[in-house]
Amino acid sequence: MAGSDRSKSWAGMGTGWTITSMILGGMLAWGGIGYGIDWLAGTPNIFTAIGFVLGGGGGIYLVYLRYGRERGGGDGA
């Protein structure tokens, strides 16, 4: 019985890690692309900052698409 209560208290942990990973992964991926552009263009971390912001925004959007949208049953409005 105690094991069942313990597993229920950790039930949302996987979802939390998934959300965190999506946001951080987007920031790291697009920040890295921005860093590469900065390195090629010789600019002082302008595109790195832009990449981090766009990656974070993209990660949040993906989290919204996966967990935030209402599923069916709506009136389409």
Would you state the pLDDT for residue 32?
97
Would you state the pLDDT for residue 69?
79
Give the orientation angle of helix 13-41 with respect to helix 46-63, to 10 degrees.
150
Distance CA 20, CA 9 (A): 19
Which has the higher per-residue pLDDT, 12 or 63?
Answer: 63
Q: Confidence class of residue 68 from pLDDT cuts 50, 70 and 90?
A: confident
What confidence tens digit (pLDDT) does each residue in 16-55 have? 999 999 999 999 999 999 999 999 999 999 999 999 999 9
Query: In degrees rounded to 5, what are phi and psi of residue 8?
Result: -65, -35
